[in-house]
Amino acid sequence: MFNLNKLIRDNIKTLKPYSSARNEFTGKASVFLDANENAYGSPLPEKFNRYPDPLQWQLKFQLARIKGVPAENIFIGNGSDEVIDLAYRIFCNPSKDNVIVCPPTYGMYEVSANINDVAIKKVNLASNFQLDVQGILNAIDAHTKLIFICSPNNPTGNNMTREDIEMILNNFGGIVIIDEAYINYSKQKTFIQELTEYPNLIVMQTLSKAWGLAALRLGLCYASMDIIDFFNKIKPPYNINEASQQLALEALQNTMLVNEWIEACVLQKKMLLVEMSNFSFVRKVYPSDANFFLLKVKDAKDLYTYLSENEIVVRNRSKDPGCDNCLRITIGTPEENKQLLNLFKNYQL
């Protein structure tokens, strides 16, 4: 039986959050003399002399319309890395609790655990890069608070089988965090619509990938209102700056353009996957539901060096479990992809 109260750290339950000036006043006013701001303005054309909305309501309302979930079920972080870090602070007691990750996967789950002094249990993905469900369930103990599942997964690019994720959600009394950073490129349905069915579910998304807003650092978290309340309780008072909020609001008006980019990216990926299979030094082209793909080659280090010497940078993931001699390649523009293919054609071991 899921019991959120038992999962929350005791010091978080009793924590009295910082109360900012913008938190304390919620009415209508024309003169603000409460936050020690510079009332004379700023050198910038907008009113950046004022502190931003600490809960980013206008941005959340717009996201709610796009995603079909209440704004109260949304938390916005300074990148997804802040969401990950706050989840550790809310649920995991340092030097006592543990979390489960499934390598190869996004590295910040482990880095954040180490920063917060939380033990990591690694249950490697199977040879087909799918979840080892039984291995995960066997690894759970009384101190396991979080399970991280990246789907589509980074760096392998594949979706995790939905039934496997549901099996874990139904058989784990802790929090399951599904990282859907690349969901816009996937045919698989988001788990956001399952929030009412699974009270132990947190879904992460981002505006960095399909929306092209990586520089703004905006990570999205969807969960029950009870869980979102704890995120809001412990976050820094003004974790999302006004410039990022305003630029994101402007960008969210352009869903048609973003959808066009997604369609173009998927078409370019299909072309590249076909072309890559024709090279003699390519051992395997892994299927992908993301805006990148994993490529197993004869000598990843040599190919990486050759590409970098010709001013194309990819990621060598050979050190990740199951990714020996594998490069992760992001889908570029048609012109960039053409350059990549031309270099592959001229490559000689």
Range of the domain at 175: 4-253
Asked if residue 275 and residue 264 are part of one domain, the reply reads: yes
Asked if residue 295 and residue 208 are part of one domain, the reply reads: no
Domain C-terminal end among 253, 273, 298: 253
| Dihedral angle of Cα 80, 84, 90, 95, to the nearest 10 degrees | -160
Asked if residue 91 and residue 78 are part of one domain, the reply reads: yes
State the DSSP string of 93-161. Answer: -TTT-EEEE-SSS-THHHHHHHHTT-EEEE----TTS---HHHHHHH--TTEEEEEEESS-TTT-PPPP
Q: Which amino acid is at 161?
A: T
Asked if residue 242 and residue 281 are part of one domain, the reply reads: no
Asked if residue 299 and residue 183 are part of one domain, the reply reads: no
Asked if residue 273 and residue 245 are part of one domain, the reply reads: no
Q: Which residue has the tokens 């490069």?
A: 327
Domain C-terminal end among 253, 277, 302: 253
Asked if residue 317 and residue 298 are part of one domain, the reply reads: yes
The Cα 291–Cα 288 span in angstroms is 8
Number of domains in the chain: 2
Asked if residue 164 and residue 26 are part of one domain, the reply reads: yes
The Cα 207–Cα 110 span in angstroms is 22
Asked if residue 168 and residue 145 are part of one domain, the reply reads: yes
Asked if residue 313 and residue 279 are part of one domain, the reply reads: yes
Asked if residue 80 and residue 121 are part of one domain, the reply reads: yes
Token couple for 115: 């920063």
H-helix or E-strand containing 222?
strand 218-222
Asked if residue 168 and residue 261 are part of one domain, the reply reads: no
Domain C-terminal end among 206, 237, 253: 253
Residue 349: per-residue pLDDT: 67
Residue 202: per-residue pLDDT: 98
The CATH number that applies at residue 263 is: 3.90.1150.10
Instruction: Report DSSP state, residue 193.
Output: G
Q: Are 328 and 285 in contact (CB under 8 A)?
A: no
Minimal CA–CA distance to 151: which of 166, 141, 137?
Answer: 166
The Cα 90–Cα 233 span in angstroms is 10
Token couple for 100: 């489960």
Q: Give backbone dihedrals phi and psi of 112, rounded to 5 degrees, phi first.
A: -65, -35
Q: Give backbone dihedrals phi and psi of 289, rounded to 5 degrees, phi first.
A: -110, 20
Q: What is the pLDDT along the chain (349 residues), one digit of tens a residue?
A: 799 999 999 999 999 998 888 777 777 888 888 888 888 889 987 789 999 999 999 999 999 999 999 999 999 999 999 999 999 999 999 999 999 999 999 999 999 999 999 999 999 999 999 999 999 999 999 999 999 999 999 999 999 999 999 999 999 999 999 999 999 999 999 999 999 999 999 999 999 999 999 999 999 999 999 999 999 999 999 999 999 999 999 999 999 999 999 999 999 999 999 999 999 999 999 999 999 999 999 999 999 999 999 999 999 999 999 999 999 999 999 999 999 999 999 997 6
The CATH number that applies at residue 119 is: 3.40.640.10
Whole-angstrom CA distances from 40 to 12, 20, 44 are 39, 21, 12
Residue 33: per-residue pLDDT: 84
